[in-house]
Amino acid sequence: MTAINPIRTETFMVNRHQLHAAVLGMLNLAHALPLNYSPIVPRLPLFAGKRAARGAATMKLSELKTAGHWPTLVTSFLYFDYSFMVWTLLGVLANQIAAPESLNLTPQQRFFMVSVPILSGGFIRLLLGLLVDRIGAKTTGILAQVVVIAGLSAAWVFGLKNYEATLLMGVVLGVAGASFAVSLPLAGRWYPPHMQGLVMGLAGAGNIGVVIDSLLAPRLAAAYGWEAVFGFAMIPAVLVLAVYCYVAKEPPLKVPAKKIGDYFRLFADKDVHWFCFFYTVTFGGFVGLAYSLGMYFKDRFSLTPSQAGDLVALCTAIGALGRPLGGGISDRIGGIRSLHIYYTTACVALIAGGLIDSLWLNVAAFFIACGAFGMGNGSVFQLLPQRFGKELGLMTGLVGCGGGLGGFLLANMMGQSRQHTGSYLIGLLVFAGLCILALVGLSLVKKRWRTTWGASAAARI
C-alpha cells in the first residue's frame, strides 16, 4: 500500500535479545512436548520395521541415537541450514540491491528477482533427486555445495552489475535450494517409518537458515556493501562442507537407480499430483514469505532494511522450528488431520495480514502464517515416506519442485499486486485461495488414503 500509517523508523527497533529468548523458548517447547500425546484421537500402536506389540507406544528423542545414525541427521540439518541461508540471500538483500543508488529496480523486478532462486531450486531438485538414487545422497550434496561455492566466489569477485546478473545469480543459488532433495533422503533413509515425521522435520528444520540470513545479511551489507555479503557467505560454506564430508554417511537402504522416464511414470499416480499440490501450498507459502516479507515490511511500514530483516527473522523462525514440531504431531494425530488445521490457520492469517494496518498486528498475522506453513511442511513429509518410501528420492524432487513453484507464485503475485494496484492484498488473497483448495483436496483424498495404503501404514495418516 502506498502510504498506510507510516511510522517513525527511529522509534522502532526489534530487541534481538528478546528474539533470541523467543527462539530458545520455542525450541524448549518443541523438546518438552510429549510426543506420545494426542488430545484428539486415542493412541494407536506404532511400528518400527516389523509391527510392534499392540498397545500404547512412546517414541522418545533418545531413539534418534539408536534407531538410525544421528551424526548423519545432524549433518543433514547443517547442510540444509547453510544451503537455505544461501538460497535466500537475494531475498534478504533485495532492499539494498533494488535501492535507487544501486540497481534501481521496480517493485515487479524486485519480486521477480527474488523468485528466480525459488523457481530454479524447484526444478534443480528433480535433477538432484535422480543423482541421489544413482551416486548417493552424500556425494550429490558435495557436488551441489561445490557449485554454490563457485557461484558465491564469482559474485564476490566480479559483482552483480545489472538486473540480468542478479537473475543469473538466482539460478545458481537455486542449487542451494535444491539441497532439500539431498538432506531429507540422506537422513530419512536411516530411520524406521514411525519416526519419519520427526526425522524429516528435524532435517528440514534447516529452514532456520533464513533467520540467520535475515539478521546478519542486511547489517553486513550496510557496513561493507551488499556484494561483500557473498564473500562472507563462503566462510560457513567451507566449514559446513568439511563437516559434511567427514561425518555424514550414506544410509544402508539402497534403492534402484531411477531414470528421467520414472518421473513421468510417477505422474500416472494421482497421489503424486496431490502431494505436489499440498507441498506447493505449505512450502511455497513459507519460502515465498521468507523471500518477500523483507520488502513487504519496508514498503508498507517505512522500515530500514535491518529492521525489516529482524521482523523476517522473527516470522520465519517459527516456520522453521515448526517443521519438526508439525512432523511429530502428525506422527501422533495423523498428517491429514494436521494439515486441515494448518491450511485453515494459514488462510485466515494471510487474509488478516493483507487487511491489518497496525505494524505489530500485521507481524503477528504473518508470524502465525509462517508457523502454520512450517508445521504443514512437516505434516506433508510425515505422509510422503509412508506412501512412496522406495521412491523417496524421486518424490522429494517432485514435491520440492512443487514447493518451488508455490514460492515463485506467491512472490510474483505480491510483486504484481504491488506494481499494479499499489497494495499487496490481491496477491495474498490469491494464495489464501490456494489454502482453501488444499482443504478441498484433503477432503477428497482422506477416505481413500485411509482405506488403501494408509490402512497398513506403519504410522498414522
Domain ranges (residues) in the chain = 67-249+256-456
The pLDDT of residue 197:
65
Residue 57's pLDDT is: 36
- Supply the pLDDT for residue 7: 37
- Reported as a pLDDT band with limits 50, 70 and 90, residue 255 is low
User: Does the pLDDT of residue 93 top 80, yes or no?
Assistant: yes
Q: With a cut of 60, say whether residue 23 has pLDDT above it.
A: no
**At 58, is the pLDDT very low, low, confident or very high (cuts 50, 70, 90)?**
very low
Which whole number is the average pLDDT over 247-252? 81
Name the more confident of 334 and 58.
334
Q: What average pLDDT score do residues 300-312 get?
A: 91
**120-124, 236-240, 252-256, 337-341 — which one is most confidently predicted on average?**
337-341
pLDDT value for 8: 37
pLDDT digits (tens, 9 = 90+) for 108-154: 898 999 889 988 988 888 888 788 878 888 888 899 999 999 999 99
Mean pLDDT highest for which of 262-271, 298-307, 365-374?
A: 365-374
| The pLDDT of residue 66 | 66
Q: How confident is the model at residue 29 (pLDDT cuts 50, 70, 90)?
A: very low
Torsion on CA atoms 219, 222, 225, 226, rounded to nearest 10:
50
Check residue 70 and give its pLDDT.
75
C-alpha grid cell for residue 36? 506420545
**62-76, 355-369, 383-397, 402-416: range with lowest mean pLDDT:** 62-76
Higher pLDDT, 263 or 175: 175
CB 420: neighbour CB atoms within 10 A? Answer: 11
- Which one has a higher pLDDT value, 390 or 82? 82
The pLDDT assigned to 20 comes to 44
Backbone angles phi, psi at 435, to 5 degrees: -60, -40
pLDDT at 422 over 80: yes
Tell me the pLDDT tens digit for each residue of 197-237. 677 667 766 667 778 888 888 899 888 988 899 999 988 88
Average pLDDT of the chain to the nearest whole number: 80
Top mean-pLDDT range of 5-14, 136-145, 303-312, 361-370: 361-370
CA dihedral 384, 386, 391, 395 (to 10 degrees): 0
Predicted pLDDT at 276: 94
The yes/no answer on whether domain 67-249+256-456 falls in CATH 1.20.1250.20 is yes
